Amino acid sequence: MQDRLNVLSNGSSLSKEDRRGVIAVIKAHSMQRMLKVGCAAVALTAIGSCRGAAWADETKIPIVFSGGHETDRRDGGRPVVLVAAGLGVSPELFREAFRGVTPARGGPPSRAQAQRNKRALLKVLGPHGVTNERLDEVSDYYRYRPERGELWRCRPARAQAIVKDGRVTRIEITEAGAGYSSPPKATVQGFEKTPLEVKLHFDKDVETNGSITAIEIATEKESAKSPARP
């Protein structure tokens, strides 16, 4: 067809019938291209509409957290799980080390008492790689005065529930938080009967120690559990 177009443009002599044939071919080719472009545009519009409809069906609702700062009754209010993780030891080992400590009563310990307590802690923790400097760093980070209504350092988590077709389909964590000593209770406003299971992560980095790693919809898991024995 390009040759025929060149013939027309060069003004070569063609019969009237040949000219009509060439023009008909050009028009047919143009119509085919227009149809292809039009079909592609319609297809893209349909795909965009479908995606938009799917996104429009999803609603994001903030998760409400409560609690998450409970301590073992054996620990006298100390966040042992956080302190132990920050030192890189188990809570059981830290509790063993703390048995040699004499807590101060009614105020801060004297210098001599503080030194005795530190020696008692390092006697047990030292062989596991805990240095005097690291013990001071972690202890100071989680130090607080509950009698004044204080709480150890923590950073609240944030998450949102994705709701589609009237039910919670998944949970997205937007801020993992830190400083949780126990899994906080997580609820979705308007879907309070949807049980959520919060999982925590503990490590030596105090910025991520006690952070939330996952929030799972526990409905299926709970229903799969066998009934408790009487």
Domain count, the chain: 3
Among 16-20, 54-58, 138-142, which stretch is predicted with the lowest mean pLDDT?
16-20
Q: Does residue 174 share a domain with residue 214?
A: yes
Count Cβ neighbours within 10 Å for each residue of 134-163 and write b for 16 or more, e otherwise. Answer: ebeebeebbebeeeeeeebbbeebebbbeb
The residue count of the chain comes to 230
Q: Per the structure block, which two tokens stand in for 199?
A: 């999982």
Q: In which domain, by residue range, is 50 found?
A: 2-54
Report the pLDDT value the prediction gives residue 196, as an integer from 0 to 100: 96
Mean pLDDT of the chain: 82
Residue 230 inside a domain? The answer is no
Report the pLDDT value the prediction gives residue 180, as an integer from 0 to 100: 98
Report the pLDDT value the prediction gives residue 21, as an integer from 0 to 100: 61
Q: Per the structure block, which two tokens stand in for 59?
A: 């609603």
Which tops the pLDDT comparison, 17 or 154? 154
Q: Which among 113, 148, 183 is the end of a domain? A: 148
Q: Does residue 141 share a domain with residue 81?
A: yes
Among 2-16, 59-73, 215-229, which stretch is predicted with the lowest mean pLDDT?
2-16
Q: Does residue 143 share a domain with residue 116?
A: yes
How far apart CA 140 and CA 117 sit, in angstroms, is 15
Q: Which among 133, 148, 163 is the end of a domain? A: 148
How far apart CA 145 and CA 152 sit, in angstroms, is 8
